Amino acid sequence: MPVLTPEPVEGFVDVTITADSLPSLLRLDTWAFPSPVPAAEQREWPWPLEPQRTRGLAEPGSETLAAMHGSYAYSRFPVPGATTPVAGLTAVGVHPQYRGRGLLRSMIGTHFADCRERGEIASVLFASQPALYPRFGYGLASRTVALTIARHAALRSVRGSHHISITFDEFDLDRHGPIVAELHARGLKDAINQPGWATRETPRLREHFHSDPPALRDGFEKWRIIVAHRSDDAVGYALFRRKFRWGEAGPEGPVDLKEYAATDPAAAHALWTRLLDLELTRTVEAHWIALDDPILGLLVDPRAATPRIIDNLWLRLIDVPAALRTRRYAAAVDVSIEVVDEMLPENAGCWHLTADAFSDRVEVEACDRADVRMDVRTLGSLYLGGFSASALAAAGQLEGTPQALAALSSAFGWPRLPACSWVF
């Protein structure tokens, strides 16, 4: 593949990021993302980005960063039936003084070039501005649901849940961090894995995720944890905190559920039973819940939960043929796909995909005639199995014969819907 060369911006130079660059990065971060917490105070918080994966731009001779971006190295990011290296793009910011100068496009080009050099087949992100990233080829790859669930909402019974024991504790990174990391990573180990279920692979990223500065609590208590056990084995956890609030009719406090994971239905039932029975609370507010999460099937009355569908991961394919070869397919497929990619022309062209169902036999070759035509961002939406080709075609996002669309919808689907349980 040709090496992508990003376009420089006249009047700006690359800044070497080192361990001593944190004050400059935080100053820019508080300009790009308004924060009530001064940059000086944020210096005490864990900084998750590695210097070698963080980039900055500045005017020559200036001590003020004009723009920055960084990425996480997800070496085992789950795609349907496999794991693969991808980059988690984050901290993309431009100082308001330098907006409209082409810095964002230049940084995205640099990021894509870095991904190619490192062998990362895709870039994924959470979008602070969802309308911004499709222009660079990112497609919405997964959706999740935010739920507000009334306390004492009834749950369907699950066999074996009464054998699950639950322990409550204040969260401590040294004691509970390994349990959370191990249980969260269980989703990567099954043949029917959960696409998009990124794990926190580095110690500094885990420390950042679990940090709990008082300035960000907004009246909530410190993080708490409940751990589910079957005999001596941990089979689930939930990270949560409560806010004390009293109204004219009594307690109105919410429970903020940061994240939960369970290895089986009984563990999920036991965790939710306790979360929905916390004294002096009125609701449980859950974030980033997968659209096929167990809680949506456990509720006796689905109207006991107020749902809100939200965008989750956005995905940009960096190496289309390699990405198509990496994932597995839920049905046999033999189809040719024409991909349009103006920013990475080496992805553009016609790719003939043949694969057996749930098999390692996947072949991708260049071809001359296509059954389906789509932009690279649409292929990004298909890639994790969160959208069907037929649905995207109905929205005018791709074109193809009915037979090809049906084949793509079956093959690119997956038994588990994609989701990431935390924001990076």
Domains belonging to the chain, first-starting first, are 13-140 (3.40.630.30), 145-171+212-311 (3.40.630.30), 321-412 (3.30.1050.10)
Contact (CB, 8 A) for 384 and 317 = no
- pLDDT value of residue 4: 56
Low-confidence ranges of the chain (pLDDT < 70): 1-6
The confidence score (pLDDT) of residue 97 equals 95
Please tell me the predicted confidence (pLDDT) of residue 5: 60
Structure pTM?
A: 0.95
Q: What is the pLDDT of residue 138?
A: 98
Identify the pLDDT of residue 3.
47
Supply 243's token pair: 């806010």
What was the pLDDT predicted at 280? 96
122-125 β-sheet, strand order: 13-15, 54-58, 67-79, 82-94, 122-125, 314-317, 139-140
